[in-house]
Chain A
């Protein structure tokens, strides 16, 4: 049993870490893109902005369990199979991207517009404004928002069982719900609480350290 719990914990960590990394890698540029193409910003392009926003909102409105099933063909294309931990990471990454995009966009939105104006008045290019002003100033909010996203991803990963992805959530459903083994459920809950606490504390510390 201990082995099973350890394996499931590892699967959860793997899924959440992978999808967070992918989410950040894609979500940050996409969030920046959505922000700067919005009305009154650096590269205003309302047509592209509204279309991208519409697609993101559409994906976000799909309940996660349905997204997992809907993405099966895409998962098969990317991972080669639609079953297993790696396969479960695909829909989780998509969800992560959608969450990170909004976090990044909101974080950029609270950077005072005067800072952009100041940088432009110094002769900065739009790329320089983004890299030297917007992203560094938004970083503390991006980190604190990311903490929340990663915690939500742990929640989402519980549904990985639907495509045989394993993980703690899957373990709790199979042993706790289907065989009514309450001990397993409690153990899983304990591990999840510790995990979430660690992420929260770490996130808060980093945010505090980088916010001057």
Chain B
């Protein structure tokens, strides 16, 4: 999806935020963060805990006021806006949370109607909107139920309905799937994607799980120690992670592409006495994943390629895959391999050698 050409709906400019910790030291949680969120995109912000992603999300609707920098939402600088303007803008910046944050003593209908109540809409309208949202999110006939009778996934649906009730154009999602089981996680993420398509929402998700990013995000920001370590389209971040922080987050994914029995035999150096084979990891993404590059290469280089492991997956709309292959350890062939594949958009990584008796 081409979202880059549009004017960003949300823009952060040189955001700094620091807290004073228990020992009285000042800790820079966010250091010079600038980012632009295109209208209609699903953006993931990923990082390990303590990377500052949660604070960053709270800076977007000014639940945390940055020490320095500006937050533009639909052209308005929220950091400079008077309180009542900020409150009005917040109606359009819905937020959902890891622990749902539903009011235990309100029925589902009254929970969903809360933003409308806050904005001062009449009761009839609140009722109508809340019921139609509950219907849309698959909770019809439960408007008089209380949150304690719901499962985690249902609670998150109510929370999404509530966030949308105030006519939200942006959804800020704070680790919204971390308290859910994998199946419910998939449900909720698909729901978000559907809502984005139908309502032209802009969704910003923070998470520490690459699987969430993989499921729905178009664009990714990787946070590390209060800075944006790396950013780009999701498929690039997955296929060619540059920053160590990204690589660390991706490890669970990449590891599964090298089976243990190969990992065990893998050696960093050549063994002089035995025959060596070079082990390469080829990372395909986008167009390169669709082409028969391996067979093309075999024909071209007249060499044998032994495929040891591989997997294919989808990240957003892009196919992405890795292959672990074994080729003869011959400098000429190795170089030819790298050149051929690199020019066709495949990232080649030499993992090491395996010896054969």
Contacts and interface: CB of A to CB of B under 8 A. Distances in A.
Interface of A: 112, 114-115, 117-125, 128, 132-133, 136-137, 139-140, 210-212
B90 A117 contact: no
B101 A117 contact: yes
Interface string B65-99: 00000000000000000000011111101110101
B129 interface: no
Secondary structure of the A contact surface, majority rule: helix
15 contacts: A114-B101, A117-B95, A118-B97, A118-B101, A119-B114, A121-B61, A121-B94, A121-B172, A123-B115, A125-B87, A132-B114, A137-B103, A210-B105, A211-B105, A212-B105
A121 B90 contact: yes
Given A132-B117, A132-B118, A212-B146, A122 B166 contact: yes
B343 interface: no
A121 B90 CA distance: 6
Contacts of A124: 87, 118
Of A122, A124, A136, A211, most buried by chain B (CB within 10 Å of CB) is A122
A123 B105 contact: no
Interface of B: 61, 63, 86-91, 93-95, 97, 99, 101, 103-106, 114-115, 117-119, 146-148, 162, 166, 172
Contact of B105 (A114, A118, A121, A139): A139
Contacts of A122: 90-91, 94-95, 114-115, 118, 162, 166
Given A132-B114, A132-B118, A212-B146, A123 B87 contact: yes
Contacts of B61: 121
A210 B104 CA distance: 10
A136 B88 contact: no
Contacts of B90: 120-123
B118 A115 contact: no
Contacts of B89: 123
A125 B88 CA distance: 11
